[in-house]
Chains A and B, each alone.
Chain A
Amino acid sequence: MNIHSYEKIWLVLATLLIVGLISTVTYGATAVGVEMVSDSGGTINASALDEDPRFSEPRVEQVGDNEYAAYVVAQQFIFKPDPITVPANSTVTFYVTSPDVIHGFEIVGTNANAMVVPGEVTELTVEMNEPGEYGILCNEYCGNGHHVMEGKLIVQPESEFQGGETDG
């Protein structure tokens, strides 16, 4: 096969670019430890969330030293609990599921962003730094009220944060 020498150079550069792109992500996933959404949340009966100890009462719970679990239900067209309140300088693992249709869970202005699929539990770990307020929105079309589906995440100063419970 007859390949022009310029085209050969181009082929090599293109391959290097591709290998480079794959390497950066692999490096992030292994060496830096960027955790990504996977199947770790397990599955759930979407019609029986109220029978599940995690989701019958959506809430934030302390699970370790500076570690919290947030059990969140995304449904047409709200998030529960709302607001979600967590302390600053903590690690929060969100467990999110849906009783009805597919939703999105996006903490606005951050890279905390995942799909919520009925029958599955999305597990997403986020480092909380400074105190502040963030919007939460649904970024997957979920029905004709999709655009009103929003929530709030309040990151409180550690001194003000009371226990792990917030009311839904």
Chain B
Amino acid sequence: MAEALDAGAPTFADRFPQEAAVVKAALTSSFVALFLGAIFGIVQGLHRTNVLREIDSQYYYTILTAHGVLMVVSFTIFFLVGLFTWATVRSLDRPVVDIRYTWTWYGLMLVGTLMAVVAVLGGFFPSVDISADVLFTFYAPLQAHPLFYGGLAIFVIGTWLAGADWFRAWWAWKQDNPDERIPLQAFMVLTTMLMWYIATIGIAIAVVGFLLPWSLGLFDNINPLLTRTLFWFWGHPVVYFWLMPAYLLWYTVLPTLSGGRLFSDPLARVVFVLFLLLSTPVGIHHQYVDPGIAEGFKMIAMTNTMFLLLPSLLTAFTVVASMEHGARQRGGTGLFGWLRALPWRNPAFTGMALAGLMFAAGGFSGMINAGMNINYLIHNTLWVPGHFHLTVGTAVALTFMAGTYWLWPQLTNRQLYSRPIGLAQVVIWFVGMALMSNAMHVMGLFGVPRRTAEPQYQGFDFLASFGSITEFRLQLALGATLLFISTVLFVGNIAASSGTPKRSGHGRPLSQPLSGAADSPAVLDNLRLWFGIAMVLVVLAYTLPLVSIIDGGGLLGRGVEPVPVIAEPLTTLAEPLSAAAEPITEWAKATLGGVLR
């Protein structure tokens, strides 16, 4: 089962050159977004910790919006569509139905991204009347330029069409293989996309029904709690949309990398079905401390959220068991001694293993977030970005990078430029994130807020119950710097790989599960059934809260006016009070008064 045995097999690029081109394009878009996102990330990391403040703090929020959107929309989802195209075509062993259609959805996603990114970057140029400093969550009544909402809508439509592409491929396959079980990777793709179709109902209504026409001036008022709730209707399942491609790699590639086989195909299917069922009716757990939502609805969301731990805990078991199986195949022995027999020199393996380890830590901090009462301590503090940099920022991002080291040669027929650099890169990421995330979690416990350019206040100091705030600020900055270096090494390594000579023999077939699909009940493959149950759960979880929000605040809110994000007002804060421009309002004066006193 060592890689060398399989070397020489035809690659994905050999067998499906047209699809390989789409996958490469999607992954390249993903890595461009990652690189830009990392530049914005390091600027933020150094700015908020006061290590290096080269920009005016108002631009911090432009940078934060760009970092968020590029990382969790562009980087993750472009990678997903690339990986899912590969997984569908590979596991069904047939090309997509119409490659022009495939390029169409990719094009739509690209256009959508460019629109949103232009709107966000417009924030840097006060002379340009375009900006979208509304952060990734774009809570109304903060209002972005219509280009931002339009771009998001087109991007999401692109993902819908992509899902339809994979369903078409599956239906075509089914005509030829009526009695066969859905291949595992295709099963993962299809269940994930069903989850995505349900989840995006929320964002589609919020953006197309409210935010886009509102930003175009078709109506003035908006119900901010309604659009916020619709955002989180999508905003939680989207984290599983980021995570499922990583799970797909852990379940179907990592066992092979370990030199063994997946422990159980049936339980892998159960896990994906559970995610389809439970990912969406939980979004209200982001709103535990919101007004306007009854405690009972929050309890329901919490109960669903806790049960969502189950598929992740099952995954932890299966992944570790598969790795142990691989290690024992490679001659590993002993209770823990088998760990030494794993291929730690392979960056693809090590990256995924470290990502999985960090995901366990992220899971524990997530349990704190999910606890309705203890959440009060950490809500909207730096703890929260500390948490999701472990999950999406490492479990997902590091797995994607590690998976790329394995997949890229099979898409290009070129060797990776440097495996040692790859190995160093994944380890640097792990160390950098350990530092940054630890500092964020700890400072969050001391009450330091997230999403804040200068978390230093005039009237009070944060009290550190151990260590010092300065120490943790520096730890955060150091971690951010290592992460930036790691990203540069990754992107550079992939870019330099285009210079290695083309040769054949990069194909790496995947091993079969120990317990195969035949061991699982056929009902698991009944996608209609699971989709139906998932819809029922969503209706149960959301109908009453949404009705009560609309009933209380009105469909378009009561007296809530748009607040466009524009660059001017704050520049006056940087100047002396006497120089404050004429339009500065009473409240701004009051603030300055308070600050100067």
Give A residues with C-beta under 8 Å from B.
Answer: 1-4, 6-7, 10-11, 14-15, 17-18, 21-22, 24-26, 28-29, 34, 36-39, 41-48, 75-78, 82, 100-102, 104, 106, 108-109, 111-123, 133-135, 137-152
Contacts and interface: CB of A to CB of B under 8 A. Distances in A.
Contact of B559 (A14, A45, A144): A45
Contacts of A137: 447, 449, 457
A36 B288 contact: yes
A36 B372 contact: yes
Nearest to A38: B295
Contact of B591 (A48, A112, A145): A145
25 contacts: A7-B263, A10-B317, A25-B373, A38-B294, A44-B558, A46-B559, A100-B561, A101-B224, A102-B224, A102-B228, A111-B377, A114-B289, A114-B290, A117-B224, A117-B291, A118-B560, A119-B559, A120-B552, A135-B461, A140-B451, A141-B451, A143-B142, A144-B57, A145-B591, A147-B455
A22 B573 CA distance: 47
A138 B457 CA distance: 11
Interface stretch (B38-46, B178-186, B299-307, B429-437): B299-307
A42 B559 contact: no
Nearest to A137: B449
Q: Which 5 A-B pairs have the closest CB atoms?
A: A135-B460, A47-B559, A144-B58, A139-B449, A139-B380
Contacts of B98: none
B76 interface: no
Given A21-B306, A108-B447, A115-B287, A1 B313 contact: no
A65 to B, nearest CB: 26
A77 B572 CA distance: 14
A75 B590 CA distance: 11
A48 B573 CA distance: 27
Contact of B264 (A3, A24, A25, A111): A3
A22 B449 contact: no
B379 interface: yes
Given A29-B373, A118-B141, A137-B447, 10 more contacts: A2-B519, A75-B587, A77-B591, A101-B224, A119-B557, A135-B460, A135-B461, A141-B452, A145-B569, A146-B452
Interface string B129-169: 00001010001011000000000000000000000000000
B151 to A, nearest CB: 20
B291 A143 contact: no
B208 interface: no
A39 B552 contact: yes
A102 to B, nearest CB: 5
Given A113-B376, A150-B459, A45 B558 contact: yes
A41 B553 CA distance: 12
Contacts of A26: 299
Given A102-B228, A145-B573, A7 B317 contact: yes
Given A7-B321, A144-B569, A38 B293 contact: yes
Nearest to A73: B587
Interface in B330-369: 367
A78 B61 CA distance: 18
Interface string B452-465: 11110111111100
Contact of A143 (B287, B288, B306, B563): B563
A46 B452 CA distance: 25
B570 interface: yes
